[in-house]
Structure 1
């Protein structure tokens, strides 16, 4: 699939799923063929590489700033990666190193779950980071004014601070919202899922004991190349 086709898919559905795509090419090289990779130095203390390897881990109260610290092998709720950043990375790529058919990746798309959110509430919803700080820095739920359908959400790392935000949070936490999600299986090496992190929420299903060896590469991109290669 060409970059122009991937761009069209991201602009339309908000995600693109490619099975065994560019097998034999490293995740970072694949990402660089598509666009501008987010500078890994922004993740100081987390990684010294642009590629993060995601492996299931048991719940650990000593890791409060990690999803596994709260949920362990359980389901991860819908979220925007790095929602607490003023401007989160635009795109993320998930690519299988070692997969399986028993763990679902959940997609909450504009055409599905996110269609339940009232655009007027989205436009006025204000959040702030839950990280300890003497200064509260508010930011809108809409990541970018120029991207009308943009949205950020994370139940752990940002908190609603006005009524519109609280109403949006209530809708996202509803059973109806969950029931409208899509479930994708990252099963084979090089299965690749590209997500528009400004327009689509994602999560993860429960990890079975047989799937604890699952390993997924994750890399962020700030933009896509304009060429059609």
Structure 2
């Protein structure tokens, strides 16, 4: 856990911590859902502008769902209570959110960890980075589907979500296979955040992919979530 006082910290302190490894974790002693959501909002408002999640809300409470109970185009609709693969939040939008803020209301029993993996540690060669920045892929998002690349121009952000990215030519297939292989090879190096009630996690969504270890139906795991653009 980070040892700074999150309630008294300034935005530059938080950004400095996030810049070190792409994410920052803290303990918050708020007693209930409302206080955790308010604290996430306070932090998020210091970092940028809130953006709505898939359901259209600026504040969300998320929990593991079965395939039948999940949004049709979400990762949970494909993987259910199994492990959720590493991905970039809001990959289905032209510009993914910059920061992902999570606060633990209940870790659940058994608890499921959030897995964190910095894409810069996937050891892409210069040639491979060129492929990721140039190979077109289709981002499936219903009637608003669009073409993009895995790596934004100049390496500004990394877009990856196996639930909505689709290759339509050989270059795109090569790019997606490359990312899948590197993630599989680096999975053992990922960091696991094991939740306790009141934990707060701030993730640089342009840099760090996140996933979830397997969960059980009715485990009680609940996280508050706020998404921030900057």
TM-score (norm 1): 0.80
- Determine the C-alpha separation between the residues in 1 that align with 2:63 and 2:28: 21
1:22 and 1:65, CA in 2 relative to 1: closer, same or farther beyond 3 A? same
> Conserved in 1, the CA contact under 8 Å of 2:136 and 2:172?
yes
SS at match of 1:102: coil
Query: What's 1:81 paired with?
Result: 89
Note the residue ranges of structure 1 that are not aligned, 5 or more in a row: 224-229
Structure 1 residues 82-111: Cα deviation after superposition (integer angstroms, max 9, x where no partner): 102111111111110001463111111145
The alignment status of 1:103 with 2:115, answered yes or no, reads: no
Note the residue ranges of structure 2 that are not aligned, 5 or more in a row: none
- Determine the C-alpha separation between the residues in 2 that align with 1:12 and 1:163: 36
Give the superposition deviation at 1:149: 5.2
- Determine the C-alpha separation between the residues in 2 that align with 1:144 and 1:220: 22
Query: What's 1:227 paired with?
Result: none
SS at match of 1:38: strand
Query: What's 1:4 paired with?
Result: 12
- Segment drifting more, 101-110 vs 191-200: 101-110
TM-score (norm 2): 0.79
Query: What's 2:60 paired with?
Result: 52
Give the superposition deviation at 1:62: 7.4
Query: What's 2:42 paired with?
Result: 32
Query: What's 2:163 paired with?
Result: 156
- Determine the C-alpha separation between the residues in 1 that align with 2:207 and 2:135: 16
Give the superposition deviation at 1:29: 3.8
For residue 179 of structure 1, the aligned residue among 177, 188, 211 is 188
Mapping of 1:113-124 within 5 angstroms? 114-116=122-124, 118-124=128-134
Query: What's 2:100 paired with?
Result: 92
Greater helix proportion: 2
- Determine the C-alpha separation between the residues in 2 that align with 1:111 and 1:87: 19
- Determine the C-alpha separation between the residues in 2 that align with 1:173 and 1:142: 14
Structure 1 residues 49-90: Cα deviation after superposition (integer angstroms, max 9, x where no partner): 411111112221874223222211101011111102111111
| Structure 1 runs of 4+ with >4 Å offset | none
